[in-house]
């Protein structure tokens, strides 16, 4: 193990915590509140944010779409520049928070913000941001990552920078009450795959990272199996905190990481508008079967420690089957059906996009070349 680890995001967890933003942003700061398509207007979150900021000077930018686009966020970047915004509060799920991260950095840059995604601009400065989380899934509220889409070219690319990590995150599980079930399930699946991307790699005997990853996976399994009882405070609290811990840097510190499922999944979202979490459930079972030999040791460990299986000759395949069955039990499809073209054309299109994005050797050991991706997609595309 060899790593540097800090998570500087202050977490304000629990019901009623939105009011605390009043004291967490200096009153002299001019605030931009960013939010999505309006769910926060219906569930009282907008009102709580307005009340908390009643003594601040603030403006708003609304309508951030799921899988936020650089084209749309350009308007928010201009607004920040024109209005000299000092602080951004993102109120929403991963899309709004990721969008705010992009705006925060691009507003401090004279060139085209997309340069950040292309690696042509190294972020030097960003407007400070905070998050009021309304959908537990991505972990974006306390990490430095962001995923932005360029709609015109169907590019969905990630960037990471410590300057865009939220200074604080309000996590009030009460706000989850209005989540459509589809989004709640998406959150469970996304968090699950985040743990897998950092855990199902090579066995390195990292007792803290492995042990904590297994705890998070077991939590998600329990919450999924108890899904019928999701309308209660404890269920919501546990999902919100588990999803946060799944991608806040802790279990990934010093661990070999994969992320191939995510990189292939991003192309499915960019090409066919598949929900982020659903893109992962489509790719991952096939990817794990393809990479079973490379991941044998960790798949066995997961089978025993997460699913409670005994050692057997079929432990690896039983574990992958159990992961797939978990998605199916949540009514999440495990095959791509959203493509309107033939299967062969869809596979070509996905592989071409990956090649264009330089995703030509994915996974913890760069074993997932474009040819391997083709084999994975043969099983994943219906
Ligand atoms: O826009 P509104 O009206 O708010 O509705 C949203 C949206 O339609 C709705 N919603 C959110 N909170 C709600 C609610 N509806 C009712 N009540 C509430 N409390 O949910 C819909 C989906 O929201 P979105 O933010 O798109 O979902 P999610 O949090 O799953 O974010 C997905 C995005 O995050 C990226 C994904 O690629 C995708 O673009 N990711 C970001 C990561 C990161 N920054 O670390 C990592 C992830 O792997 C992921 O790639
Ligand atoms: Zn994800």
From the list 224, 244, 205, 222, the residue with the least C-alpha distance to 306 is 222
- CATH number listed for the domain at residues 10-175: 3.40.50.1970
* pTM, full prediction: 0.98
Task: Summarize the confidence of residues 201-219 as an average pLDDT.
Answer: 98
Residue 116 — φ and ψ, nearest 5°? -65, -45
Among 70, 96, 102, 135, which residue has the most ligand 1 atoms within 8 Å of its CB, making it the best to mutate? 135
Atom of ligand 1 nearest to the CA of 178: 17
- Work out the pLDDT band at 180, boundaries 50, 70, 90: very high
pLDDT of residue 128: 98
Cross-strand pairs, 133 = 92, 171
CB distance 62 to ligand 1 below 6 Å: no
Atom of ligand 1 nearest to the CA of 183: 20
CA–centroid distance, residue 305 to ligand 1 (Å): 30
pLDDT of residue 315: 98
Domain 180-380: give its CATH architecture.
Up-down Bundle (1.20)
Task: Summarize the confidence of residues 348-354 as an average pLDDT.
Answer: 98
Residues 6+ apart with CB under 8 A from 19: 48, 51, 52
pLDDT of residue 224: 98
Atom of ligand 1 nearest to the CA of 64: 1
Task: Summarize the confidence of residues 309-318 as an average pLDDT.
Answer: 98
Task: Summarize the confidence of residues 154-170 as an average pLDDT.
Answer: 98
pLDDT of residue 62: 98
pLDDT of residue 54: 98
- Rounded to the nearest 10°, the torsion over CA 17, 168, 37, 76 is 140
CB distance 144 to ligand 1 below 6 Å: no
Query: pLDDT tens for residues 119-159?
Result: 999 999 999 999 999 999 999 999 999 999 999 999 999 99
CB distance 146 to ligand 1 below 6 Å: yes
CB distance 249 to ligand 1 below 6 Å: no
CB distance 66 to ligand 1 below 6 Å: yes
Task: Summarize the confidence of residues 208-224 as an average pLDDT.
Answer: 98
pLDDT of residue 206: 96
Give the whole-number percent of the chain exceeding pLDDT 90: 100
Domain residue ranges of the chain, discontinuous segments joined by +:
10-175, 180-380
């Amino acid at each position: 193990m060899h790593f540097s680890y800090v998570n500087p995001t202050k977490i304000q967890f629990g019901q009623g915590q939105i009011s605390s933003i009043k004291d967490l942003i200096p009153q002299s700061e001019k605030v931009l509140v960013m939010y999505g398509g309006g769910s926060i207007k219906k569930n009282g979150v907008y009102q709580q944010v307005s009340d908390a900021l009643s003594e601040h000077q603030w403006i708003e930018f609304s309508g951030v779409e799921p899988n936020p686009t650089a084209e749309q966020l350009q308007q928010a970047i201009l607004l920040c520049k024109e209005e000299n915004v000092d602080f951004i509060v993102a109120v929403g799920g991963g899309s709004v928070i990721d969008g705010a991260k992009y705006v925060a950095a691009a507003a401090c840059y004279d060139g085209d913000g997309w340069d950040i995604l292309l690696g042509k601009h190294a972020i030097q400065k960003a407007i400070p941001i905070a998050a009021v989380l309304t959908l537990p899934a991505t972990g974006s509220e306390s990490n430095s990552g962001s995923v932005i889409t360029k709609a015109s070219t169907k590019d969905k690319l990630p960037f990471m920078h410590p300057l865009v990590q939220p200074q604080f995150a309000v996590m009030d599980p009460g706000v989850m009450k209005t989540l459509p079930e589809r989004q709640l399930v998406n959150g469970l699946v996304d968090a699950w795959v985040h743990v897998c991307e950092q855990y199902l790699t090579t066995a390195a005997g990292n007792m803290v990272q492995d042990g904590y990853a297994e705890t998070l996976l077991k939590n998600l399994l329990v919450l999924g199996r108890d899904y019928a009882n999701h309308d209660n405070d404890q269920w919501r609290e546990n999902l919100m905190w588990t999803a946060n811990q799944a991608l806040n840097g802790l279990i990934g510190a010093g661990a070999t990481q994969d992320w191939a499922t995510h990189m292939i999944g991003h192309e499915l979202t960019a090409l066919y508008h598949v929900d982020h979490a659903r893109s992962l459930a489509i790719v991952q079972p096939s990817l794990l079967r393809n990479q079973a030999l490379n991941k044998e040791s960790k798949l066995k460990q997961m089978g025993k420690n997460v699913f409670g299986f005994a050692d057997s000759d079929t432990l690896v395949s039983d574990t992958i089957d159990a992961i797939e069955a978990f998605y199916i039990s949540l009514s999440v499809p495990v095959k791509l059906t959203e493509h309107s073209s033939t299967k062969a054309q869809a596979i070509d299109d996905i592989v071409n996009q990956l090649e264009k994005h330089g995703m030509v050797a994915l996974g913890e050991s760069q074993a997932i070349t474009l040819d391997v991706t083709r084999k994975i997609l043969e099983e994943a595309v219906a």
